[in-house]
Amino acid sequence: MIRLTSVYDSHLHVLGIGIQQRIADCSEFATLAELSSYSNDNPKIIVSRGWHESQFIEKRTPTKFDLNHISKSMPVILIRTCGHVLVCNDKAMELAGITSDTPQIEGGSFDYKTGIFTEDAMDLIMKIVPPPSKEELKEMFISANNYLLSQGITSVGSDDFSIKNVHYEDIIEVLEELYHEGLMQIHLYEQVNLPSIKLQQDFLNKGYHKKTYNGFKMGPLKLLADGSMGGRTAYLNKDYSDDPGNKGIQVFKQSELEDLIYLADSNGMDVAIHAIGDGMIDLVLDAIEKSIRRTKRNHRHSIIHAQLATKQQIQRMKQLGVAAIVQPIFLNSDIGIVHERLGDRANESYLFKTMYKEGVHVAFSTDAPVEPVNPFYNLYTAITRTSIKQPELGEFLPEEKFTLDEALECYQNSYYMSYDEHKNYNDYIIVDRDIHNCTVEELKDTVVLETYIDGKLVYKRDKK
Ligand SMILES: [Zn+2]
């Protein structure tokens, strides 16, 4: 039994993990035919998340035709693992009032012919899913809290406001009650996802950003500025190699993005912006630069993901003091598609070690439930640059490998993101092996036996 410092995952979705635990998981089907024979217990609607086209033998994105086989009378919605793309059947579109004449909306796209919806257009479909009740929200937070503790995670940066059809104030109320009742223990730094000036102004007017809460803190403004590379919605400077004419999606107009960032920055809030494509990274850095020139704040702004940040952009991040919240584990799913999507640009992607070496503040995260929250999987991909799901694909840009100590340091760096680097939390875990004296394969399979927060036992593994 070895004692280790516990883990701070700098960006994930606690509530998303709780939701994922309740809805069916579609990540295990090997063929689209299997997917088509899918069924679950809910008699009214099927909502599931977790597919990635690389999992299917057919190596293609499912369409409404596959889902119409699941049901013609009940809506079926399957969300891609990234959360940026969904596919639904004809019944779901019918209930949502989508026809071949429905106009496209800004910040997303959809194709009536295939039933595929991306980014903001997903809301057109997700509105037919009944929102969770307050009790359900609480149950989902609790089950996610317990799951995270079982994985050795004691602190998180978490985006929980982005759940459809639930007002952010209801989430704050639920969190206050849960911590007050002692039902959640994890240190939570809320990444405040408020994607409009109106919502953000409401949040600021009510003083939520300055309030102290028991057990959790309000963190940076979180914005989703583009999509995912796999879903071809991350915003690139040049077209996707496997989709000519498509550069991805800009969720906000540039002036809107600038206003949102400046409003937060000028009110003493940092920003943490989801940006994956090189095109979006440029735009986000432009907006941050413009804002900090005005506010002159001593900030801790960050870009979440920064997967396709080029070496030049990395220099710019360093100059502007913009941190990178990155997910080595994304290679787990993306390693098989990065060349298809990007062509030669793949050689300048996932440059997390370069960021680290160049002096960008790099904090590790998993973006769970997008990828598993298990920190040993994340450490494994950081160290080996190899997919756990598809080891046969080999190493991706091996010069970007971290050493174990560097990778552990990047997890510890998360404390900086929430101004907690000098807080001496008495948080630690007991694991079943000495991770400094085992092979990487053994490291990957490390098991957490006990988790402690503030010196108190909060998780103990069942002996069975
Ligand atoms: Zn996320």
For position 464, what pLDDT does the model report? 67
ipTM at complex level: 0.97
What pLDDT score was predicted for residue 43? 65
Closest CA to 284 of 251, 311, 326, 238: 251
Q: Where are the beta strands (DSSP E) in 147-245?
A: 153-158, 187-193, 216-224
CA distances for 396 relative to 143, 381, 410, angstroms: 35, 10, 20
- Outline which parts of the chain fall under CATH 3.10.310.70: 16-126
For residue 348, the tally of other CB atoms under 10 A from its CB is 18
Calculate how far, in angstroms, residue 362's C-alpha sits from the geometric centre of ligand 1: 16
Q: What is the pLDDT of residues 384-433, one digit of tens each?
A: 999 998 999 999 999 999 999 999 999 999 999 999 999 888 999 999 99
Ligand 1 center from residue 387 Cα (angstroms): 20
3-class DSSP state of 315: helix
106 C-alpha to ligand 1 centroid (Å): 21
CATH 3.10.310.70 fits 16-126, yes or no: yes
**Tokens standing for residue 247:** 């550069």
Pick the CATH number of 7-12+133-453 from 3.40.605.10, 3.20.20.140, 3.20.20.100, 3.40.50.2000: 3.20.20.140
Q: Give residue 211 CA to ligand 1 midpoint distance, Å.
A: 24
Read off the tokens for 202.
């409401």
Domain limits, CATH 3.20.20.140, in the chain: 7-12+133-453
Ligand 1 centroid–CA 33 distance in Å is: 30
* Start-to-end C-alpha separation, the chain: 17
Give Cα 437 to chain centroid, integer Å: 31
Distance from Cα 274 to the centre of ligand 1, integer Å: 7
CA of 463 to the centre of ligand 1 (A): 33
- For residue 158, the one-letter residue type is S
Separation of CA 336 and ligand 1 centre (Å)? 21
Q: How far is the CA of 72 from the centre of ligand 1 (A)?
A: 32
Residues of the chain with pLDDT under 50: none
The reported pLDDT for the residue numbered 175 is: 98
Helix (H) or strand (E) holding 65: helix 64-70
Ligand 1 centroid – CA 370 distance (Å): 7
CA of 2 to the centre of ligand 1 (A): 31
For 194, residues 6+ apart whose C-beta sits below 8 A from its C-beta are 161, 168, 200, 203, 221
Residue pair 196/167 in contact (Cβ under 8 Å)? The answer is no
Spatial distance between the Cα atoms of 389 and 54, rounded to a whole number of angstroms: 10
- Residue owning tokens 């160049």: 358
- 303, 304, 305, 311 alpha-carbon torsion, rounded to 10°: 10
If you search the block for the tokens 């994890």, which residue do you land on? 186
Ligand 1 center–CA 355 separation, angstroms: 20
Helix, strand, coil % in the chain, rounded to nearest 5: 40, 20, 40
Q: Helices H, strands E: what count in the chain?
A: 18, 18
